[in-house]
Every structure is written in C-alpha cells, then in structure tokens.
C-alpha cells in the first residue's frame, strides 16, 4: 500500500490536488492512479493532479481528471506555487516553475492560506480558425473560441465542443459572451476534464482572440463560473491574475 500526502487548492473554483515531491523521488503516479484520485464520486475529486518536484529548480507535471497529461494550467500553476510555499514554509513571493509549456514565473500575495497570484503566461499564438468559431489560440495548449448563443443548451454546447476538439486533435473549447470592451464571460469544456469552474489558459486565449477581433481591449476581466480572472495582453504576451485558496490536506492510500 502507498500513502501519498497531498494538498487541495483551487483558483476561482478550478480545483487541484498537489503533491510536493523532493528532488530525486522515484515517480509513483500513473494516468490510472491520477484518474482514480480525481474521480469526484469514488476518489477525492479534482480537475487535475499537480506534481511539484522541488530541488535546485521546481518543475510541474499536470494530469487532467481523466489521467491525460496537459501542458499547462494558469490556475494550476498558481495553486502549485502556493502549495510549494506552504509545504516548505516559504516566505518568498515569486517562484519559477518549469512546465510543459516552458518556464513560468508565478508571483504570490498570500494572507495565510489564501491570496492572489499572477503568472506570465508567455506569447499567445493563433491558428487557422475553424468554421463557425472566432478563432484558435495556443497558450502552451490549444483552444477554440466560440461566440456563445444564449439559445444553445448545455447539451448543444457539449456536442459542438466535442466536434471542434476532435477537429483539433484535442483542445479546450471556450464559449464567450462579450459584456463590454473590458469585461468578458466564458464557459469552458476542458480537454480531459469536461465543464470546469475556471480555465486560466482559456481566459487568456479568449482575451487574445477578442482583442484581435476588436471585441475587447488589452486589459480585461474574464468571468468564469467559479470566479473572475484578469488577463493583461502586451505585445502578444499574456499575464494572468486571480485568486488561490487552500482547501484541505489529503491522505490518499492506494495499493
């Protein structure tokens, strides 16, 4: 039997289980174990599992809820940095994290086990738009942005998201409503997760596509179902800011 000690955190409702691992520890997690842990009825429940390996540098591995690997999560990397700070009794305010989408620097402003953080997400690039969409964007991972229609049911959105994701070989799909040039609202069907309370990379993708299409400015609040995130765009690069909140310590025992 193996006992793993984890922390649960969320950023605007986007929840993660985080294990902080000393450098050199042999990997134990598999896609099947990660999916079992993240299962919301038979496991602990989370949008993903984050593995933080610490040593001379800090690295991040992200398992989606279905056990697949994701390159990057804007909310997840904030949660990971906060979990590392808590596990090591750190007092620092910034941490560089090696991710599948490159090195990201996270800045934290904590008040105990809650606070806010920001991360330089890097360049947002664009692909060829799919028919019926506003655009395709890459924030270390792929996104398809669709102008939402209030007449659609969630079942219709899910069907469309599945079709668009398959055309991309796997992608997050964001349904966006433009409130004004500084305020957007989104719903997200996330690759390997499904409907999610918040998506940081998705918020960046939507903001970049909206700016390109003349629908918003370069500094926007993006309302996610679980809370608001802020995206600032400058010279094609995105900075994501939002809350981070500790939930609980978790012990997971599995053969």
60 and 7 part of one domain:
yes
- The CATH number of whichever domain residue 193 belongs to comes to 3.10.310.10
Q: Give the CB-side neighbour count of residue 61, counting CA atoms within 13 A.
A: 16
Instruction: Quote the CA–CA distance of 18 and 26 in Å, as a whole number.
Output: 16
Domain that holds residue 170: 122-241
114 and 11 part of one domain:
yes
20 and 115 part of one domain:
yes
Residue with tokens 């028919």: 131
What average pLDDT does this structure show over 60-79? 95
Q: Coil, strand, or helix at residue 58?
A: strand
Instruction: Quote the CA–CA distance of 212 and 209 in Å, as a whole number.
Output: 5
32 and 105 part of one domain:
yes
250 and 174 part of one domain:
no
96 and 162 part of one domain:
no
234 and 154 part of one domain:
yes
Q: What is the pLDDT of residues 102-122, one digit of tens each?
A: 999 999 999 999 999 999 999
211 and 133 part of one domain:
yes
96 and 200 part of one domain:
no
What pLDDT does residue 25 have? 64
76 and 138 part of one domain:
no
What average pLDDT does this structure show over 145-169? 97
128 and 230 part of one domain:
yes
| Prediction pTM value | 0.90
What average pLDDT does this structure show over 35-41? 96
What average pLDDT does this structure show over 122-134? 95
When divided into structural domains, the chain yields a total of 2
């Amino acid at each position: 039997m193996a006992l793993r000690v984890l922390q649960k955190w969320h950023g605007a409702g986007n929840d993660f289980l985080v294990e902080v691992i000393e450098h050199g520890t042999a990997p134990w997690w598999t896609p099947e174990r990660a999916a079992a842990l993240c299962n919301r009825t038979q496991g602990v429940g989370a949008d993903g599992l984050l593995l933080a390996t610490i040593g001379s540098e800090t690295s991040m591995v992200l398992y989606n809820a279905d056990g697949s690997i994701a390159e990057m999560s804007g909310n997840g990397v904030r949660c990971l940095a906060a979990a590392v700070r808590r596990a090591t009794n750190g007092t620092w305010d910034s941490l560089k994290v090696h991710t599948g989408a490159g090195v990201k620097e996270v800045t934290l402003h904590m008040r105990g086990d809650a606070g806010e953080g920001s991360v330089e997400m890097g360049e947002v690039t664009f692909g060829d738009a799919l028919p019926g969409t506003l655009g395709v964007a890459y924030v270390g991972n792929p996104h398809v942005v669709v102008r939402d229609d209030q007449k659609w049911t969630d079942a219709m959105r899910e069907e469309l998201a599945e079709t668009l994701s398959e055309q991309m070989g796997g992608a997050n799909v964001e349904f966006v409503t433009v409130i004004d040039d500084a305020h957007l609202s989104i719903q997200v069907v996330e690759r390997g997760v499904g409907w999610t309370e918040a998506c940081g990379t998705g918020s960046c993708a939507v903001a970049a596509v909206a700016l390109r299409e003349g629908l918003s400015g370069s500094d926007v609040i993006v309302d996610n179902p679980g809370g608001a995130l802020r995206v600032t765009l400058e010279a094609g690069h995105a900075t994501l800011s939002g809350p981070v909140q500790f939930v609980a310590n978790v012990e997971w025992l599995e053969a």
